[in-house]
A and B are shown apart, each in its own frame.
Chain A
Amino acid sequence: MALKIIASMCSGCSACEPECPNVAIREKGGTFVIDPKKCTECEGQFDSPQCIAVCPVDGCIKKV
């Protein structure tokens, strides 16, 4: 249960980072990555994964 950011699509806009309730997102070399150990897909916390909801690039964040 975790999401993944497709690095080649990420614009590095940082919008997702502060939205993650589990502090699973951090910057890595200009783009952002999700720590699979921390990501819960926002289950039980929000109706939809917060990172996907705020990301401006369609298809940039996916299920692994």
Chain B
Amino acid sequence: MSTNTTFVSLSGLKKGRQAVSEVIELEGGCSTSGGSGKSSCGSSAGPEDMPPEIWEKIKNHPCYSEEAHHHFARMHVAVAPACNIQCNYCNRKYDCSNESRPGVVSQKLTPDQAVKKVLAVASEIPQMTVLGIAGPGDSLANPKKTFDTMRQLAETAPDIKLCISTNGLALPDLVDEICKYNIDHVTITINMVDPAVGEKIYPWIFYNHKRYTGYEAAKILHERQMLGLEMLTARGVLTKINSVLIPGINDEHLIEVNREVKKRGAFLHNIMPLISEPEHGTVFGLTGQRGPTAQELKAVQDACMGGANLMRHCRQCRADAVGLLGEDRSEEFTLDKIEAMDIHYDLDKRRAYQEKVEQERQAQHQAKVDALSAAFDEQLAGVDADMKVLVAVATEGHGKVNQHFGHATEFQIYEVGQGQALFVGHRRVDLYCQGGYGEDEQLPSIVNAINDCHAVLVSKIGACPRDELKAAGIEPVDEYAHEFIEKAALNWFADYRQRIASGQVVHVPRGDARIRQGAYTAEAA
């Protein structure tokens, strides 16, 4: 039901379109819908719960629409190596780990090379609808390279949506230019709204021909970020705010960040875990600043629900990622390979293909809604009505439980409660067959990654991992193979509650889980 959190509430599904759109209007675009108090903005299906012009902008944008990311692809071109600030989670001597470790690039490109690459990818991958410039430095600290690329693309590939990602320092000066090239999605990385917090994250900024440090630097950056965001909102540009969750520094503070950016019209808020492995050589990596656990991340995200919409499907992509979120096809499009390609950019063919994808997606959505309306579960005596548990799901897409446990490189995490199954994130894992990365732990990495889940839904699972999961207290479930995820999760949950009511199982809370560090860069299937 939502752009960013696939929220499926049965009561919500039954609610008339009218009522939903009224709520939206009242609250200015995004809202808390229904009595459940869950954030439900946007739509995974259609424009019924948002203004049509906004739906037009996001419906095939994999980052702005949670559902779209299963169907449409994006690419980044690395034309912007320079940066005008320093972040303690970034080390440009090697790579940049910006909002999404996007600094990891294999080839820096000139604008001309970038345009060629975009056309090559767009011809090969017709569902590629979005082009972003996200570094490896700051797109707006490299205005010439960024806008030169965008100008050429606006002319040659008018159907591709253009996005940029920035730290916001140079943003207010460049808003006009952004609008000129029809860049209608801008991501600003905002980690604080209080310079005293910012001081701990940014050692310096370069602004107005001067290097500023300490509180003063953070204050300037903060003011520029807020001004830039307000200017974009005033011009109707959709903004996504990325925040890096740094435990002990800005964890609780991000709730205030969420409030402040929502107030200034931010469309989407993406709260991501800090990546800080010592080998990345970042200040945080070297000082031992740890990243959050899965439950710490979820707690902050949950606390922000009802504010700006949350994005929970971010994969912290590289600055030269190509393909669907969660896959990386950049290897297929290196400079030498592009040189050898015969590129035909066929706008009509691309449109026709995307139409087809859109139709399939609508059909799939309808099937899901139909399947769900049948999945009610009843109140049971002796079972806590507010009980909610997490389940991990192995999926290859199409919204179904359709992947073999051993083939999963990530699990989608759903929170199930009575009558609802809510997508809350994904967890990257090593392939089961390749063993774990555990240090002290005896259990394989997969258990670490989904240790807060009560069950894992798969299409199939071998005897060995089955036993291992059981021993760890996670129930392996293959009874719902090839069903829609939400329906499967609800059915499993009803069954689980039955078993609790009948005394077959005793419900015990699960522990925490570990977030796998680094960008998610599985090879495309």
Determine whether the beta carbon of B209 is less than 8 Å from that of A18: no
Binary contact track A28-64/B, C-beta < 8 Å → 1, others 0: 0000000000000000001110100110110000000
Q: Is B123 an interface residue (CB 8 A)?
A: no
Q: Is the CB of A48 within 8 A of B92?
A: no
| Contact with A11, one of B84, B92, B210 (Cβ below 8 angstroms) | B92
What residues of B have a CB within 8 angstroms of the CB of A48 in the complex? 210-211
Within 8 A of A (CB), among B131-173: 137, 141-142, 144
User: Would you call B93 and A15 a contact (CB within 8 A)?
Assistant: no
CB-contact partner of B92 in A19, A47, A53, A56, under 8 A: A56
**CB-CB contacts of B72-99 with A at 8 A, as 1s and 0s?**
0000000001111010000011100000
B81–A13 touching, CB < 8 Å: yes
The dominant DSSP class at the A interface is loop
Known: A53-B206, A53-B211. A14 touches B92 (CB 8 A): no
B84 and A54 contacting across the interface, CB-CB below 8 Å: yes
Chain B interface mostly: loop
| Minimum CB distance partner of B138 in chain A | A15
A54's contact among B81, B142, B206, by CB below 8 Å, is which?
B206
Task: Give Cα distance in the complex from A57 to B94, angstroms.
Answer: 11
- Compute how far the CA of A15 lies from the CA of B205 in the bound complex, rounded to whole angstroms: 12
Interface size, A (range): 10 to 19
> Quick one: given A13-B81, A15-B137, are A57 and B93 in contact (CB under 8 Å)?
yes
* B82 pairs with A14, CB closer than 8 A: yes
Q: Within B186-245, which residues are at the interface with A (CB < 8 Å)?
A: 206, 209-211
Bound form: Cα–Cα A17–B141 in Å: 12
Q: Which residue of A lies closest to B94 (CB)?
A: A11
B95 vs chain A, min Cβ distance (A)? 10
Q: How far is the CA of A54 from the CA of B210 in the complex (A)?
A: 8
| Chain A 1-29: CB-based contact to B (< 8 A → 1; otherwise 0) | 00000000001111101110000000000
- State the CA gap A48–B142 with chains docked (Å): 21
A15/B83 contact (C-beta < 8 A), A56-B92, A57-B93 known: yes
On whether the beta carbons of A13 and B82 are closer than 8 Å, the reply is yes
Distance between A8 CB and nearest chain B CB, rounded to angstroms? 11
Tell me which residues across on chain A come within 8 A of B209, comparing CB atoms.
19, 46-47, 50, 53
A11: which B residues are within 8 A, CB to CB?
Answer: 92-94
Complex: chain A residue closest to B211, CB-CB: A53
Q: Which residues of B contact A47 (CB under 8 A)?
A: 209-210
Closest to B96 in A: A13
The CA-CA distance from A53 to B81 in the complex, in Å, is 17
The CA of A53 and the CA of B85, in the complex, are separated in Å by: 10
Contact present for A53 and B210 (CB under 8 Å): yes
- Tell me, in angstroms, the Cα distance from A11 to B141 when the chains sit together: 16
Say how far A19's CB is from chain B's closest CB, in angstroms. 8
CB distance from B449 to the nearest CB of A (A): 33
Chain B residues, CB < 8 A from A53 = 206, 209-211
Q: Tell me the B104-118 residues at the A interface (CB within 8 Å).
A: 108
CA distance A13 to B95 in the complex (A): 10
A54:B211 contact, CB within 8 angstroms? yes
With both chains docked as a complex, state the minimum distance between the C-beta of B82 and any C-beta of chain A, in angstroms: 4
**Selected A-B contacts with CB under 8 Å, 18 pairs:** A11-B94, A12-B81, A12-B108, A13-B81, A14-B82, A14-B137, A14-B142, A15-B82, A15-B206, A18-B82, A48-B210, A48-B211, A50-B209, A53-B209, A54-B206, A54-B211, A56-B86, A57-B93
Chain B residues within 8 Å of A, Cβ to Cβ: 81-84, 86, 92-94, 108, 137, 141-142, 144, 206, 209-211
Closest 9 pairs between A and B when the two form their complex, measured CB to CB: A15-B82, A53-B211, A54-B206, A14-B82, A56-B92, A11-B93, A14-B81, A13-B81, A46-B209
Binding site for B on A (CB under 8 A): 11-15, 17-19, 46-48, 50, 53-54, 56-57
Given contacts A12-B81, A12-B108, A18-B82, 14 further A-B contacts (CB under 8 A): A11-B94, A13-B92, A13-B137, A14-B81, A14-B82, A15-B137, A15-B206, A17-B82, A50-B209, A53-B211, A54-B82, A56-B92, A56-B93, A57-B92
